[in-house]
Amino acid sequence: MASRELEVVHSPQVETPPSRGPLSAFLDRLIGPFHRGEAPERKPAMGFYTDTTVCIGCKACEVACKQWNQLPADGFAWTGNSYDNTGELSATSWRHVKFVEQFADNQPPEPTGNGRVSLHVLPDQPHDVRWLMMSDVCKHCVAAPCQQACPTGAIIHNEFANVYIQPDICNGCGYCVAACPFGVITRSTLSGHAHKCTLCYDRQKDGLVPACAKACPTASIQFGPIDELRERARRRVEELHRRGVPGARMYGSAPTETYTELHSFYLLVDRPEVYGLPEAPFNPWLHMLGDYFRTAIAGAVTLAVPLAAFLLWGA
Amino acid sequence: MPGLGASFGRGAATTFQQDLANSDCILIMGSNMAEAHPVGFRWPLKAKEKGATLIHVDPRFTRTSALCDVFVDIRAGSDVAFLGGLVNYVLSNDRWFQEYVLNYTNASTIIQEGFQDTEDLAGLFSGYRGDGETGKYDAVEGHWGYEGCPGGTGDPAGSGQSFRVRMLRGEHGIQGHDLEGGAPSHSAPRKHMTTAPGGTPPRDPTLQHPRCVFQILKRHFARYSPEVVSRVCGCTPEELVRVAELLCANSGRERTSVIVYALGWTQHTTGVQMIRTAGILQLLLGNMGRPGGGIMAMRGHSTIQGSTDLATLYDVLPGYLPQPAADEQHETLHSYVEHEGLPTGYWANFRKFVVSLLKAWYGDAATPDNDFAFSWLPRVDGDYSQLLYFDRMARGEVKGYFLFGQNPGGGGPNAGLHRAGLRNLDWLVVLDWFEIESAVFWKNDPNGPRPAEIKTEVFFIPAAASPEKEGSLTNTQRMLQWHDKAIDPLGDCRSDAWFLYNLGKRLKQLYAGSTDPRDQPLLRLTWDYDFEERPRLPDGTVSRIEGEPDLEKVLQEINGYHLDEADPRTGRPRLVTAFSELKEDGSTACGCWIYSGVFPEPGRNRARERKLTDNPLQPEWGFAWPDNRRVLYNRASAAPDGRPWSQRKKLIWWDQESRHWVGLDRPDFEQEKPPDYRPTPGATGMAAIAGDQPFIMKPDGLGWLYAPGAVKDGPLPTHYEPVESPVGNLLYPRQTCSPTVRTFEGPLNLLAHTPTADYPVVATTFRLTEHYLSGPMSRFNSWLNELQPAMFVELSPELAADRGIVHGGWLTVESARGRIEARAMVTRRLRPLLVEGRMVHQVGLPFHWAFAGEVVGGNANDLTSLVADPNVSMHEAKAFACQIYAGRLAGHTPTPTKSAAPWPTREPVPDTPAAAQPEGRLGHGK
Amino acid sequence: MSSLPVASKPQPYSRETVRKTSRLRGATVTQGVCPYCAVGCGQLIYSKGGQLIDIEGNPESPINEGTLCPKGANAFQLAVNPHRVTQVLYRAPFSEHWETKPLDWAMDQIARRVKAARDADFTVRNEAGRLLNSVRSIGTLGGATIDNEENYLIKKLFGGGLGVVSIENQARI
Amino acid sequence: MQTKTNLPSPTGYAGIVTKPPEWHTLVVFDILFNNLTTGLFLVAAVGELAAPATFTPVATWAYPVALALLLADFACLVLDLGDSLRFHHMLRVFKPSSPMSLGTWSLTVYSLLLTAIVAVEFVAAAGWVPGDSAAAWWIRTLAVVVGLPFAFGSAAYKGVLFSTTAQPGWKDARWLGAYLVNTAVTLGAAELLVIAALTGEQLAVDTLRLAVGLLIVLNLVALALLVGDLYPLLSRLYARREFGVAGLFVLLTGVVIPASSLLAGGVPVTASVAVASLILASLGVRFAIVRLPHDAT
């Protein structure tokens, strides 16, 4: 018979709210969000390390994510972009496996008149070809533009130092969508709220590994304390260089001039653009004060004009 | 999988998936492992991390190729040539593992005078009867047998009689009736091929005798030179040599290489011979029965191994006992055993297995007086395999049919013919979860007739999903794993077991009281699997379902029990603990002898065991047949003297103190037989197997480089072109295709014979990670459909340019059977290949789409043909001829029968608050 | 850029966020095996109140060590799926549509049809006088996607009991 | 459920990875009304404080108008949310790091003060308190003075909100905030001019004509700076011709028409034409700005 390891021993004391009338329900809806939950104590920072060199592009992460988070499908459209029919990260796709076919001249030649293809092009071409695969996800930036942007405090850095959108708070202003330099977040057409990878916050709270990392058959997606992951990744890069894998590099494991490190970082074997990642992500907030300043000056100068006019001629 | 059985004795993967991590070199061929078995591919990758070399040989650059160190693309269907090239390289460069080959294979065995090889007969072996296009081999007249064995040496039992080539046990497809049915009237006992009356057949340890297997082998493969092979396969000679060198460098005492294959090999008219060639290669390199070695067959379905073992196949009984045929020799139990049994090797126990099966089925009705009711077993008088039977069905010769979770209307080769078959039934019973093609063929087939013209009466019985039922599955490494029932089935959904059990009960009622002898098998059939009390679900609630059979009782029957002994604990017959306990006097019953030991005592269902130990083989997780042996023929992991070949590759070895074979694995050998044991002349049974002969299922205990009479298309593999190919046979110009292939041409099954000019493009079908088979388990699932929503065809930029096809546009693929449309996936992952000095284009077709489900599209299997290889009636989907052109298909295109379900489909089950459970109870997420 | 100042600031948690737990709490877990390919991945099936709530890889399984492929990860949607048929469907000859029928009725009808066909076509011996004891006008197909015990019951009932010879499964295809 | 285009895209992931927010027409009008209300308040307040005699009567009419425009702005803001019923969640936190949070708070305070002012005026107009009530005067003046910074903040945050994003164009628009706040004041002055003209405060009209004139020129400078920021993207997105047409339109509606109508005289008609034309100009520019990331990706 089945193991009972997860069965509740004590009968659950569910905090059932006292039955309330429509008015108090309305009031609760009004006031509820203003009640702050008591912040849990901070835990060691957790994150993802995605080693693209062992990714087989199976998309288990995508399905495992949809299953755990009960997300709807994004529609059945064949993109023709290699085996990538997911297309992009969105409010309903929190994992996205990318496929990059690297062959000499990947674009099909134009049809010729008689169409005959001469033999000499083939078949003695070298096989130095690559089919790169990478499972993309929210980067869980240490200083996350989306979190900085969020006007409602729906987006928080939770106790695991992950970026988490509180679905009961978000009001769908869309600022986080505009702020994300990686194009991770969109607003759900169903709920009107912004959604993205939660790094399985609910699972982590119970000591479980995020669904995608658990499913990944080749350990391309690894989850754990961020420091351990960084160390593991560093060793892996050295190993790859020893094996003569050119261009093995980390992405987002360390802060740059214009961006913090990412709590979901990658091991790539080519330039980030090839994988659709910005070469040098930029945190918009580096501009904010300057922009305020320029605006203030401009405002003052502008107001000075009517003021002068009023003082000189208006009196 | 006769290829394996013919070479080693058992038709199943010789090792287990985790063992791939112990390999030094992995040749993946005829398999797209990363895509078709992603989780299995975890293990080759672990090996790679440890420094192993991964090689992929395939017509297409796939997700598997992307992760391998070496990729060689060859023309679909030219695998025997490529493998032959490897064998030739090993032989001509003396890279074979001498001590292993000399002692563990039949290399030194001398073959009868008068055997003629394809070298002598331009592509045919001696004993051929036919016109070269279709025919049969007579192995006796062909003198395929061992020297001194009666099969062809004028021994009355064999001489001059048409010998029906049969595979040895360990494979299915044993009968080999020809299409017109009716087994030949006489056949020599199979023992006459390999067993000399006076002990072992003559051998030449020097391997110099011109008629010894080794010399025959050398001559046979001599012409498979890198240059010739490259011209056949389309690869370069250097590529072949590189692969050969890698395999040789990673074989021997210290290192082992493994070969992984899947349906990329089996779905050919020469599939069995491809696997045979791999077997020869692994024997020569000394990789069989050793850690990180062997041949890993990656099978397709959750229990396809189990369904083969338990024989939902027309020509075998459970445990690979041949289904009796309408032969004189099979009239009585005695003559049946005489003909099908072997005096030496483990099959000497044949009678025990048969009698125990009859006792399990007919109980008290099976007595020594009535031959244990042997005559009740139905006799086969023809080929009743799926392909042939649907051919018959299409001609209206079949009345009723049952589908248990299979979808021939979508996934059958030449699915159009399969649908025609379904349309010509009187009644059809479909047990499935969704309205699959085979259930709605009468209303949704875009190219079928109107419903008003289709007579078939259809019963759709909603089946229980796997979490809604319990039972065991046998995975690709022969391991049985039991899955528990989590919840009750929805509504009127029922498990197939429930359906079968209750149908059986009703039929028994309908026939109750009949005295007609023909009805006795049913009336006397043991059929009592009721639960003692209504079963409870894991959460403690009582199951709502009435009449569910207790499948552990069924498994106990499969395991076997002593009829003359009651178990004190239960009062029921005592269960056998291993097949060695089975008796031939009718005192034991056993439903499937190879599974004996899976239920050794009451309450101990070993398929259900989930115990982890520090033994890397994890022997207490599940149960692997036979007798929980994880690596077959593992006696070969030790040198003839019983010591491991090397410390690095030790698995089991002879322990002089305890005088036992010891080690990590259960020995696939008699535990107490010392390495130096030598049989006395005339010894029978296991006594005839020497202490250094690891292949105990073989009458001579040896691995068969040369397989006398084990396969129907020749004792040695030979390259033949597929039935449909644009090029002729470069190696044997006079013999294009397999001389024993069976083709069934008709208006519904036209063929483009090799070499064809009308269909110049080579097509091969393949599986995507995101879908499953013809889609019954994937195209009703939005999470999978969005990942691969449409049928597409992969083709090279050159071909696309040639036909004016643009990437992403529409194209039409046409074969002699039909046409389909698809989106064009123009990619460099496919290359035209230089074959016979001309360019041959290949296209890849995923076979996941048809006309029922959330996503629909062109069905690759509407293009494949119905042809049958001589051994197992396997069709040829991995290489056939087609023509492609730009543009959509005029006429009806399917529209989805289901719209994507909005998700989530129900309110989430409320969370149990943290307060309800102490912290730290959920530590199982690793 | 200075790391972590943001994360260290007190965050405006909502009450629900603090309350959030994984839905596996309080669930019953059952040992499963993936129903798709032949790799044989171990699965853990979680249910609550008679409803499936989650299916994921069994971390203890030596085969998959908790991992799954996309199809295995989809096992939940395979079982909890609005397209699943939950009543017996019947299509009369030449009919244009399904009718839903009681299970008992269907079982009865099927048993009668089997008997009729068997009684009509059971052959004891062929023209050559050889023993047949077989029925060749009924067949069964399938088995590789169901359970071992069910395969055994098919072979036993149809082969051993009824004398049906065309018993087949995917192994050949 | 989202649906994707069924056209095959070229393989690879070149190009912009950011996703534009779903900000369209509503946002354009939000910016406009924001500028109209804050600008009007700012100019009216400044005028009232600088030259009470001349401007108090005009301002008295200006504040209710500003309030009306503010309500229109709020409508846009709320309706543009994915979940409008959660607008008040904005006030759950005060987050200077988020221009939107800052803006919401200043808008809120500004709206309260503005309401207070209008209320006081109404009470006075209704004669419930004596027109020369010191208390009323103090409250009103206090509200005006305190309101100034918040009105300014409300005007200032918008541009910064856009420029502190990762969106192509916006993220480079260093002078966007400057341009918007400048336009706000310009529009405000023009609106006040209309009111002045309607109330017949001749001196106010003349002063404002001069102010507006100067502001228009200044606004051109701000626009130039902004275009300078955006030029790399604009030149990539639009053809030289489209560019010219747009420029011509802005010049015409933003400078030529209002300027000439101002020269034509200070009657309500000319003033209204000037305002209308300016509104047209700023609508055009705002449309272009909001569209940028959508066009770019």
Q: Is D8 at the interface with chain B, CB within 8 A? A: yes
Q: How far apart are CA D74 and CA D38, in angstroms?
A: 13
Q: Is A78 at the interface with chain B, CB within 8 A? A: yes
Q: What is the pLDDT of residue B926?
A: 38
Confidence of residue A26 (pLDDT cuts 50, 70, 90): confident
Q: What is the pLDDT of residue B910?
A: 80
Residue of chain B minimizing CA distance to D4:
B786
Q: pTM for this structure?
A: 0.94
Mean pLDDT value across residues B70-85: 97
ipTM here: 0.94
Mean pLDDT value across residues B714-739: 96
- Please, which residues have CB within 8 angstroms of residue B48's CB and are 6 or more apart in sequence? B54, B67, B69
Which positions 59-118 of B are in contact with A (Cβ < 8 Å)? 61, 63-67, 71-72
Please state the three-class secondary structure of D138-181 as a single string.
Answer: HHHHHHHHHHHHHHHHHHHHHHHHHHCCCCCCHHHCCCHHHHHH
Q: What is the pLDDT of residue A112?
A: 34
Percent residues over pLDDT 90 in chain A: 78
Cβ distance of A81 and D8 shorter than 8 Å: yes
- Best CA proximity match to A69, nearest among A14, A16, A137: A137
Sign of CA dihedral A297, A302, A304, A307: negative
Contacting residues of A for B920, CB less than 8 Å apart: 207
Candidates A6, A59, A70, partner chain C, best to mutate (most C CBs within 10 A): A6
- Best CA proximity match to B786, nearest among C34, A99, C74: C74
Name the minimum distance, in Å, from the CA of C58 to any CA of chain A: 10
Cβ distance of C67 and B40 shorter than 8 Å: no
Which positions 267-306 of B are in contact with A (Cβ < 8 Å)? none
DSSP codes joined into one string, B699-768 = TTSSB-SS-TTTSTT-SS----B-SS-SS--SSSTT--B-TT-EE--BTTB---PSSPSSS-EEEEEE--
Q: What are phi and psi of A259, to 5 degrees?
A: -155, 155
Mean pLDDT, all residues of chain A: 87
Q: Is B421 at the interface with chain C, CB within 8 A? A: no
Q: What is the pLDDT of residue B825?
A: 96
Cβ distance of C17 and A208 shorter than 8 Å: no
Cβ distance of B61 and A129 shorter than 8 Å: yes
pLDDT tops 80 at residue A126: no
Q: How far apart are CA D113 and CA D37, in angstroms?
A: 13
Q: What is the pLDDT of residue B921?
A: 43
* H helix or E strand, kind and range, residue B885: strand B880-886
Condensed to tens digits (0 to 9), the pLDDT of residues B541-597 reads 999 999 999 999 999 999 999 999 999 999 999 999 999 999 999 999 999 999 999
pLDDT tops 80 at residue A118: no
pLDDT tops 80 at residue B198: no
pLDDT tops 80 at residue D132: no
- Best CA proximity match to C73, nearest among B784, B394, B169, B691: B784
Condensed to tens digits (0 to 9), the pLDDT of residues B211-227 reads 999 999 999 999 999 99
Q: What is the pLDDT of residue B396?
A: 96
* H helix or E strand, kind and range, residue A266: strand A264-268
Condensed to tens digits (0 to 9), the pLDDT of residues B605-649 reads 999 999 999 999 999 999 999 999 999 999 999 999 999 999 999
The partner residues of B742 in beta bridges, in order of sequence, read B868
Name the minimum distance, in Å, from the CA of C11 to any CA of chain B: 21
In B548-633, the DSSP E strands lie at 561-566, 573-575, 588-589, 623-624
**Which candidate from D21, D83, D204 shows the least CB-CB separation from A314?**
D204
pLDDT tops 70 at residue B160: no
Q: How far apart are CA C30 and CA C24, in angstroms?
A: 12
Q: Is B58 helix (H, G, I), strand (E, B) or coil?
A: strand
pLDDT tops 90 at residue B148: no
Q: How far apart are CA B232 and CA B239, in angstroms?
A: 13
Condensed to tens digits (0 to 9), the pLDDT of residues A271-295 reads 999 999 999 999 999 999 999 999 9
pLDDT tops 90 at residue A252: yes
Contacting residues of D for B902, CB less than 8 Å apart: 1
Mean pLDDT value across residues B698-713: 91
pLDDT tops 90 at residue D8: no
Assigned token pair, B781: 């699932």
Q: How far apart are CA C148 and CA B469, in angstroms?
A: 12
Assigned token pair, B830: 């496919």
Mean pLDDT value across residues A180-204: 96
Residue A302, CB-side half-sphere exposure with 13 Å CA sphere: 34
Contacting residues of D for C6, CB less than 8 Å apart: 97
Mean pLDDT, all residues of chain B: 92
Mean pLDDT value across residues B119-143: 92
Residue of chain B minimizing CA distance to A98:
B787
pLDDT tops 50 at residue D5: no
Confidence of residue C121 (pLDDT cuts 50, 70, 90): very high
Cβ proximity of B462 and B500 under 8 Å: no
Burial class (CB in 10 A: 0-12, 13-18, 19+), B836: middle
pLDDT tops 90 at residue B769: yes
A111 upstream amide cis, omega within 30 of 0: no
Q: How far apart are CA A40 and CA A102, in angstroms?
A: 47
Condensed to tens digits (0 to 9), the pLDDT of residues D226-265 reads 999 999 999 999 999 999 999 999 999 999 999 999 999 8
Name the minimum distance, in Å, from the CA of C16 to any CA of chain B: 11
Mean pLDDT value across residues B79-99: 98
Q: What is the pLDDT of residue D9?
A: 38
